[in-house]
Amino acid sequence: MPTSPTNKSPDLLTQLENVINLPSISSTNAAIDMSNKAVIDHLANEFESMGFDCELIPCEPPSSGKINLIATLGSGPGGLVLAGHTDTVPVDEHLWSVDPFHLTQRDGKLYGLGVTDMKGFFPIVMEAIKPLLEAEYKEPLIILATADEETSMQGARTIAELGRPRARSAIIGEPTGLKPVRTHKGIMMDSIRLLGKSGHSSDPSLGNNALDAMHAVIADLIQFRNEMKQRYQSALF
Ligand SMILES: [Zn+2]
């Protein structure tokens, strides 16, 4: 067990500043896409000093610099996972009235890129478990920090392929306006590409107009969407 880390560990605001201070932007635009390694290394250090066993799990290819962290306190089957992603969306600094990479307090609110969605979740976890670190754990407490949620979801994919971590339940710290949300719609993305064939303005029938064909595809998709809307309804959403 850790030796009373409670007294020497930094307070919540310091920990928030620490994670906001480490940019970890995910973008489909390779020019601004970043590694999340600095955040993962920081979290691994902090959780290790709280007595957790920390395991770094790189995404493929390792050169992408995208890494996941599984930090475990206690052992055995079952357990509770506290999960979150360590990347943020890109930022247009000109549209911000404060520095997005520093924590700013204003009118009783905290500003910074990722304070709410969702690097700030990890400092909150650290704060919440401070009084629990000396407890005897019947099942493990597991912190899962993933990469690339805002774009490729490569972090979650890597973890899912490994089938880890195994636990009885999980809490995901995404912002929900402090309302508990116990289900998720999920998401599926796909693309349709049509290749036309050029004809001649004197005789368009010599070619194949991709726009005409796509018009039919879109019409079918709209109909499909409406059917799905009718068939799947949940009062939870
Ligand atoms: Zn999020």
Tens-digit pLDDT profile for residues 65-79: 999 999 999 999 999
Q: Tell me how far the alpha carbon of residue 172 lies from the centroid of ligand 1, in angstroms.
A: 9
Tens-digit pLDDT profile for residues 122-142: 999 999 999 999 999 999 999
Q: How far is CA 79 from CA 74, 141, 170, 171, 178, in A?
A: 9, 6, 9, 11, 23
Q: Which of 110, 107, 140, 134 is nearest to 123 (CA)?
A: 110
Domain assignments of the chain as residue spans, ordered by start: 12-172, 184-237
Q: Which helix (H) or strand (E) holds 6?
A: none
Q: Tell me how far the alpha carbon of residue 117 lies from the centroid of ligand 1, in angstroms.
A: 5
Q: Tell me how far the alpha carbon of residue 115 lies from the centroid of ligand 1, in angstroms.
A: 10
Residue 136 a catalytic site member = no
The catalytic residue among 93, 149, 150, 174 is: 149
Give residue 76's region: left, alpha or beta (phi > 0; psi -120 to 50). Answer: left
Phi, psi of 202 (to 5 degrees): -75, -25
Q: Tell me how far the alpha carbon of residue 88 lies from the centroid of ligand 1, in angstroms.
A: 8
The catalytic residue among 17, 46, 87, 148 is: 87
Contact 106, 2 (CB under 8 A): no
Architecture of domain 12-172: 3-Layer(aba) Sandwich (3.40)
Residue 8: predicted pLDDT: 64
Q: Which residues contact 101 (CB under 8 A, 6 or more apart)?
A: 20, 21, 23, 112, 113
Residue 212 a catalytic site member = no
